[in-house]
Amino acid sequence: MLEFRHVGHAYNGAPSVEDISFTVNQGEVVTLLGPSGCGKTTLLRLAAGLERPMGGEIWLDDRLVSDATQVVAPETRGVGFMFQDYALFPHLSVLENVLFGLRDKGSAAMRRGLDVLAEANIESLADSYPHELSGGQQQRVALARALAPRPSVILLDEPYAGLDSRLRERIRDQMLHVLKAAGTAALMVTHDAEEAMFMSDNIIVMRHGQVQQTGRPVNLYCQPNTAFVAEFFGEVNRLEGHVSNGCIETILGSFDAPPTMSEGDAASIVIRHEGLIIEPDGTGENANAFVMEARLLGRASLIHLSVPTGTDELHFHARVPGLNSLQTGSPVRITVDATQAFVFPAGE
């Protein structure tokens, strides 16, 4: 439904995105994920027709809509756009906001407006005004308005940014059901990796205007191709070492070096917090670490660990499910889940 072909753009001569290519298929949710300033919003504006690319092509429903010489106007593209601040008209009721983008204002439009409100489970708010609604309700009105004209593609700009964490979890679940029921292709922008994993069929990780890795959430989490991607999907510990006989020896054990690294190369081992396995050691005979702090965070506990190295100590963080019984200062033995540890060239 939406395709970018080698798209590039710049502002005042400074590149914003470079050589970007990807496809969003019908019924698919694709997320642009990355830190602020990586070019996510630029791509969304290019898809909407609010900017003209300086290079490459953008296709919508097998129709060229943008290249360096021409751009089809946003209002004629048949694309829905959900803004970060929702941009609801304060003087219009909820139903009137939803009907605003429909060309036909007759009874058919009225039925369509009420249908999308029902799909978003807010039909009871049809006569209310935006200032009377909560943030989550306003968000669903904005989504209903974007879906009302039956767009082939909907663009979502940080749709949960204004919601608190508990409300965000509930609303994004409802929103995903609405999008899937509508069968619309969706392109979303976020800097929240968990949000991207929950919502997306595919994720495009960006950095400095370039694509770092593209794939399904499980592939990006379990098979990151750079330290940047690994760190973006969760907090990590780092160990440094050098390749020797195909391995990197560390204080936490030996790690296999990737075939692209050579003998003597400096390496960085990235270990997810949940990749550290902690075994209490009451006698201390097999201990290789000590508990510095143990903090309950709700669904998990964060354990601060100190690992003596002889002349110094290294600090690590581990995340374990639920409540824990580890006491400050207690000796433990920590090992590493190999599936949660990744080796990259040092300095990435």
- Which tens digits make up the pLDDT trace of 260-270? 888 989 999 99
Average confidence (pLDDT) over 19-37: 94
Dihedral of CA 306/308/309/312: which sign? positive
Domains in the chain: boundaries:
2-229, 235-345
pLDDT at 178: 84
Task: Encode pLDDT of 290-335 as tens digits.
Answer: 999 999 988 899 999 999 887 788 999 999 988 888 889 999 999 9
- Which residue in 100, 105, 97 sits closest to 141, CA to CA? 97
**Residue 319 belongs to what H/E stretch?**
strand 313-321
- Which residue in 2, 330, 10, 299 sits closest to 166, CA to CA? 299
Helix (H, G, I), strand (E, B) or coil at 194: helix
Report the 10 Å Cβ neighbour count for 26: 12
Helix (H, G, I), strand (E, B) or coil at 322: coil
pLDDT at 301: 92
Name, in order, each residue with C-beta under 8 angstroms of 232's C-beta and a sequence gap of 6 or more: 33, 34, 35, 193, 205
Predicted confidence (pLDDT) at residue 180 exceeds the cutoff of 90: no
Confidence of residue 149 (pLDDT cuts 50, 70, 90): confident
Confidence of residue 165 (pLDDT cuts 50, 70, 90): confident
Task: Encode pLDDT of 223-246 as tens digits.
Answer: 999 999 999 998 999 999 999 998
pLDDT at 77: 86
Q: In what order do the strands lie in the sheet with 153-157?
A: 79-82, 153-157, 185-190, 29-33, 202-207, 210-215
The mean pLDDT of the chain is: 90
CA distance 316 to 321: 17
- Which residue in 293, 241, 251, 269 sits closest to 341, CA to CA? 269
Residue type, 58: I
Predicted confidence (pLDDT) at residue 148 exceeds the cutoff of 80: yes
Average confidence (pLDDT) over 76-83: 86
Average confidence (pLDDT) over 92-112: 86
CA distance 82 to 101: 12
Confidence of residue 275 (pLDDT cuts 50, 70, 90): very high
**Cross-strand partners of 203:** 31, 215
Predicted confidence (pLDDT) at residue 348 exceeds the cutoff of 70: no
Fold (topology level) of 2-229: Rossmann fold (3.40.50)
Helix (H, G, I), strand (E, B) or coil at 196: helix
CA distances from 193 to 185, 204, 269, 274 (A): 20, 11, 21, 16
Q: Give pairs for 203-208: CB < 8 Å, separation 24+.
A: 203/30, 203/31, 203/33, 204/22, 204/30, 204/31, 204/32, 204/33, 205/33, 205/34, 205/229, 205/232, 206/32, 206/33, 206/34, 206/38, 206/39, 206/40, 207/34, 207/35, 207/38, 208/38, 208/39
Task: Encode pLDDT of 189-211 as tens digits.
Answer: 999 999 999 999 999 999 999 99
pLDDT at 342: 95
Length of the chain counted residue by residue? 348
